[in-house]
């Protein structure tokens, strides 16, 4: 006869079973929180990408507003976001409202403003009947600034990661965030490369034109962004009150005295003169200079998307092999070489040759952008950890928000310079080998490439001699 199990044996097994169930439940809860927190990056990347890639094309080629005037508005938007991101990140560190905490108040307030301003930016004739050029320009100015100010919702949201997840959990959250961001960018690329050019042509012919598919797409994109951020705000737990109120002025002073951090800010600003020029004018270059339309644009957008995804992998592998600094120097050199070839658009060539060049050029641009997109999240995380090692303090909000000041001011400058190119250079016509067709565009839409090359070379030498991106403590870990 077998012995009956003892009470102690049964109790120990019940304890182990309960513990395993608790760990499983905790793991499931963590996965759920991770996904809910990470996926708003999809909506934010989608909306910001559409604004960055499409605004110049839509309002100049579509609604007929002078390119220089549109770039002025875009520049003012970057100044607005420079102020708002740093301000709301800084302020959210010191805010704590009972039951909703530090970061949720800003998500609740700024999310609907961004949603509404996005709708108004891309559907002006839904609200305006037969608007004049001045009315449209004022509309663009007001709602672009509102959009950029409210985009600061991403600063308290991103700073929230430090309070919602442990150090061990953050890499997984960041990974899912990046996946969501890339999916958003992918949809954005296809939409801006395929839908926006066709809509701009329709609007140029009939300013009151508002195709149902286009209108529903814009509303859906904005609504999806709104839902994702509000879902996170309502379902994520409210963080505990801080043990002591942060000294915001002291934290700001510590940031300003971190020499390497400030040098990196300037590096990012210098490089952004080139990157913002590329993203702002790329759609006009593809459609106006290369003459791509319809199905060709769809193929090009696919090349750009796949190229960026491959570039993210390639540059990540290169970082592991040669380090961050040597890799980012490679990005700058590669971007300088690729951008310079934009002048090929001045050459009359058979359409098949133009298509081949266009695909190769876009793959080169994708390789450059993919490399650049990879770096900020990496070196800011490293710089924040390096700062925490030396100061012993976590300054999540200000570390996320402060870089936007220099970055967006330089982006405003880059867009302003692009606008001046439109003022300086004439409109030209390049013949085509297909009878009866020609391409007409402003020379600024070709000569932006050599200008970007200059910005990239400046960034290269500045980074090579002044910046530290690889740290001793990384090797120890």
What is the homologous superfamily of the domain 34-238 according to CATH? Answer: MFS general substrate transporter like domains (1.20.1250.20)
Which region, left, alpha or beta, applies to residue 4 given φ > 0 means left and ψ of -120 to 50 means alpha? beta
Rounded to two decimals, the pTM is 0.79
Higher pLDDT pick, 319 / 232: 232
134-160 pLDDT, tens digit each: 999 999 999 999 999 999 888 888 878
Residues of the chain above pLDDT 70, percent: 84
The predicted pLDDT at position 112 comes to 96
**Tokens linked to 443:** 């020379």
Radius of gyration of the CA atoms of the chain, in A: 25
2 has pLDDT over 50: no
Which region, left, alpha or beta, applies to residue 392 given φ > 0 means left and ψ of -120 to 50 means alpha? left
**Tokens linked to 132:** 């004049």
Q: For the domain covering 246-470, report its CATH number.
A: 1.20.1250.20
Could you give the residue range(s) of every CATH 1.20.1250.20 domain in the chain? 34-238, 246-470
Alpha helices in 236-293 (DSSP H): 248-256, 259-284
The predicted pLDDT at position 134 comes to 93
Tell me the longest C-alpha to C-alpha distance in the chain: 102
For residues 118 and 48, is the Cβ–Cβ distance under 8 A?
Answer: no
306 has pLDDT over 70: yes
Average predicted confidence (pLDDT) for the chain:
83
Other Cβ atoms less than 10 A from the Cβ of 174: the count is 17
């Amino acid at each position: 006869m077998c012995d009956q199990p003892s009470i102690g044996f049964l109790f120990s097994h019940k304890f182990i079973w309960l513990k395993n169930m608790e760990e499983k439940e905790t793991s499931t809860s963590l996965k759920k929180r991770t996904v809910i927190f990470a996926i708003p990056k999809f909506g934010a990347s989608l909306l910001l990408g559409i604004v960055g890639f499409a605004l110049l094309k839509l309002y100049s080629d579509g609604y007929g507003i002078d390119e220089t005037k549109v770039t002025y508005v875009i520049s003012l938007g970057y100044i607005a976001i420079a102020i708002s991101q740093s301000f709301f990140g800084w302020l959210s560190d010191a805010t704590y409202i009972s039951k909703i905490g530090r970061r949720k108040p800003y998500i609740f307030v700024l999310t609907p403003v961004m949603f509404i301003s996005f709708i108004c930016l891309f559907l002006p004739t839904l609200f305006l009947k037969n608007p004049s050029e001045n009315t449209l320009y004022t509309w663009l100015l007001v709602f672009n600034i509102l959009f950029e100010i409210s985009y600061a919702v991403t600063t308290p949201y991103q700073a929230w990661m430090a309070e919602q997840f442990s150090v061990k959990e953050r890499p997984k959250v960041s990974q899912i965030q990046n996946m969501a961001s890339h999916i958003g960018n992918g949809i954005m690329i296809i939409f801006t490369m395929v839908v926006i050019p066709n809509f701009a042509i329709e609007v140029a012919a009939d300013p009151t034109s508002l195709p149902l598919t286009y209108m529903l797409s814009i509303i859906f994109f904005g609504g999806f962004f709104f839902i994702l951020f509000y879902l996170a705000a309502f379902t994520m737990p409210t963080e505990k009150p801080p043990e002591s109120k942060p000294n915001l002025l002291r934290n700001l002073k510590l940031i300003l005295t971190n020499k390497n951090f400030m040098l990196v800010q300037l590096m990012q600003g210098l490089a952004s003169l080139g990157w913002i020029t590329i993203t702002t004018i790329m759609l006009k270059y593809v459609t106006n200079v290369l003459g791509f339309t319809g199905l060709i644009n769809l193929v090009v957008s696919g090349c750009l998307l796949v190229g960026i995804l491959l570039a993210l992998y390639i540059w990540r592998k290169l970082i592991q092999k040669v380090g961050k600094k040597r890799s980012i120097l490679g990005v700058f050199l590669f971007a300088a070489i690729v951008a310079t070839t934009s002048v090929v658009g001045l050459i009359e060539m058979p359409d098949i040759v133009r298509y081949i060049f266009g695909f190769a050029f876009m793959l080169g641009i994708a390789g450059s952008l993919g490399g650049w997109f990879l770096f900020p999240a990496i070196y800011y995380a490293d710089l924040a950890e390096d700062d925490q090692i030396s100061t012993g303090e976590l300054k999540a909000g200000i570390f996320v928000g402060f870089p936007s000041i220099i970055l967006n001011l330089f982006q405003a400058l880059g867009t302003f310079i692009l606008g001046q190119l439109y003022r300086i250079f004439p409109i030209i016509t390049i013949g085509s080998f297909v009878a009866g067709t020609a391409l007409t565009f402003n020379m600024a839409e070709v000569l932006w490439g050599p200008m970007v090359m200059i910005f990239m070379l400046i960034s290269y030498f500045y980074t090579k001699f002044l910046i530290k991106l690889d740290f001793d403590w990384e090797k120890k870990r």
